[in-house]
Amino acid sequence: MSKQPYPSPDSQRRYFDQPSAPQSTTNLLPSQRTSAGSLESLQASDNGAVHANFARGPSRGPSVKSTRGIESPYGASRANAPPSLIPSISDKFSLSPDPAAWGADLSPNHPEPDDFLHNPDPRRDKSTDHGGNIFTGRGIMNLGCLFILGAGILTLFAGYPLISHFTSSPSSFFGGFNVGGTNATGQVPLIDGNFGLIDQDTPKDAYTIDSYHSPGTKLQLVFSDEFETPGRTFYPGDDPYWEAVDLHYCISNLALPPILMGRQFCREWYDPAGATTNNGALEITLSQKETHGLNYQGGLISSWNKFCFTGGLLVAAVTLPGTNNIHGLWPAVWAMGNLGRAGFGASLEGMWPYTYDACDVGTAPNQTINGLPEAATINGDPGVGGELSYLPGQRLSRCTCQGESHPGPVHEDGSYVGRSAPEIDVFEAQISNDAGQVSQSSQWAPFNVSFKSCIIVSNVY
């Protein structure tokens, strides 16, 4: 293609070669270029080609000659170069913005050569779309994943609360209401090493027992110790529930009547070495050996200041050693209120064996005031002149005045609750006339006339 010589400065025109291309099916590109006329137009030739006519551009200002040339695109001379030397966008792309002006048939009814790519053909596409069947392996996996995800979310936020509500059982406290005996929800914690409140070796059928006091009522197990673990020791700090004492127990004679003073247990020293576990049982050994200036060494374990409970039933299985013609040193299994400590006389003074919550003569020393009532001075213990009571008086009685020492609690009327340390003997064993004897007793004060209990038929079991 030849270029036209430059015209005069007042009517400059510049043309650029456009690459040749095959005839478009949309007839958008011209097949040849012509220049004539005064207006920009597109004219269709007889064979359907589009011819572009380019008019003269607008008159530009007078050209300014550069003294440095126009080679540098960044130099000031390029900005001052003649307009005819600066290509413009309109010179490169001189098509009309309206496609209809190009001669293209934009009607949707006009077929185009590539329409077959967009038109569906069931026969042709059957091999790829399987005839439109949606039950494919991929579809089933997609829907299955969505179903499982939806079911999981529904179960988590709706099903789980309902299932928990109808299948959960109320938590059992197992009677553990002492400070440190329960967790944040009130349940008794399971301690490693079989040191929980309920021994792991306790059979399940022993978790409940019928009540003797209320037939038809079940009592729930709150504490057990089967002593199955061999070699347990009970020195201070060894066991969470039991502790063997290290003392001469005869100090308790301060709370005993004179007739019992000098009994054989005053010859015995209780030592932690005398208590251990063996063959699935607690073994307390009485040894004839000199210790602390005494003739015998025995053992006594206590739960004082370890755990306590109010009411209920105490069950123990005990085997006494030896024969019934050998005198022992008063073996016993018994319980006492936790305000008193066995073997520590100061804790028992005025506490054992009271269990009284009234303010009357029963709390006074010897249960008398100015020698009255007379019934408290006769028909009592013959070993002490027939006196009914030789106790020093209840220390923490309901008669305690405001401001005096008393740990409480307080009744609604402002008076203190009488507190003390009564004793319940599961059994006490001894030998008398070469025959074994076992007694069960409860030691409660103040005493009734002639030590007669107020027996009610429902209380006799």
* pLDDT in the model for residue 178: 53
Q: With 60 as the cut, is the pLDDT of residue 418 above it?
A: yes
pLDDT band at residue 243 using 50, 70 and 90 as cut-offs: very high
For strand 32-33 and strand 50-53, is the pairing parallel, antiparallel, or unpaired? Answer: parallel
Most confident of 76-85, 243-252, 323-332: 243-252
Identify the CA nearest to 416 among candidates 406, 424, 429, 425.
406
Judged against a pLDDT cut of 60, whether residue 455 lies above it is answered with no
Tens-place pLDDT, residues 18-31: 444 444 444 444 44
- Between CA 256 and CA 391 the distance in angstroms is 9
pLDDT at 447: 87
pLDDT score for 29: 43
Burial level of 380, CB count in 10 A (0-12/13-18/19+)? buried
Residue showing tokens 């003569």 = 361
Two tokens, residue 396: 């923490």
Residue-level pLDDT at 327:
67
Question: How sure is the predictor about 43, in pLDDT bands with cuts at 50, 70 and 90?
Answer: very low
Chain segment 162-188, per-residue pLDDT in tens: 988 888 876 665 555 555 555 556 566
Element containing residue 298 per DSSP (H, E): strand 294-298
In this structure, are residues 353 and 447 in contact, taking their beta carbons and an 8 Å threshold?
A: no
Give the residue-averaged pLDDT of 70-78. Answer: 46
Q: Which burial class, exposed, middle or buried, applies to 13 when counting CB atoms under 10 A from its CB (0-12, 13-18, 19+)?
A: middle
| Residue whose token pair is 């291309």 | 21
* pLDDT over 90, % of the chain: 31
pLDDT at position 203 over 80: yes
Residues 55-67, mean pLDDT to the nearest whole number: 43
| pLDDT at residue 73 tops 60 | no
